[in-house]
Amino acid sequence: MSLLMSNMITPFFFVSEHPEAWIVLGTALLTGVSFIVLTAYSGFSRLLGLGHLPWIPMVIYLIAQVDQAPAGTWFAFWLKAVIILDIGSLFLDTANVVRYWMGDREEMVKGLSGPNSCSLDQPLES
C-alpha cells in the first residue's frame, strides 16, 4: 500500500511544481504495463519483479535531485520516501527474480495464467 501511495497517488500533489513527480508517475504507468505483460506470460509469479526494472534509472535520477529539494518540505519528505521504499522493493524483486531463474516458477496466486486463466478473446461465462 505504501508503494501505491508514494508512486501513484502522492505525486499528484507535486506535479504542478516538480518534474520529479511526473517522472515517478510515468514510471509507475510503465511499471503497470510491464506487470500486465509479465502476468499474461507467467501468471502471478516471481518473474513480476522484472516489472520494476524502470525504477532503477528513476531512483538514480531521484537520488541526484534530493540535494535540490527544499529542505523541510513535504516534497523533500516524499522524494526521500519514494527512494527508500522503491530501493527496498527492488531488493525484494531481485531476490524473487533470482528464485524464478533458479526454478521457483510456481504462481504465487493461482489461476492468472495457463489453461484456467481468462483471455480477452474468450466468451464470458454466466
In tens, the pLDDT along 61-113 reads 999 999 999 999 999 999 999 999 999 999 999 999 999 999 888 877 776 55
Rounded to two decimals, what is the model's pTM? 0.80
Integer CA distances (angstroms), 73 to 42, 56, 70, 79, in order: 42, 25, 6, 10
Residue 119 has pLDDT above 70, yes or no: no
Residue 126 has pLDDT above 60, yes or no: no
pLDDT score for 39: 86
Residue 33 has pLDDT above 50, yes or no: yes
Collapse the DSSP code of 33 into the 3-class scheme (helix H, G, I; strand E, B; otherwise coil) and give the result.
Answer: helix
Q: Quick one: average pLDDT of 35-40?
A: 88
The string over 17-30, giving b where at least 16 C-beta atoms fall within 10 Å of a residue's C-beta and e elsewhere, is: ebebbebbbebbee
Residue 28 has pLDDT above 90, yes or no: yes
Q: Which three cell numbers stand for residue 76?
A: 523533500
* C-alpha to C-alpha distance for 46 and 62, rounded to whole angstroms: 26
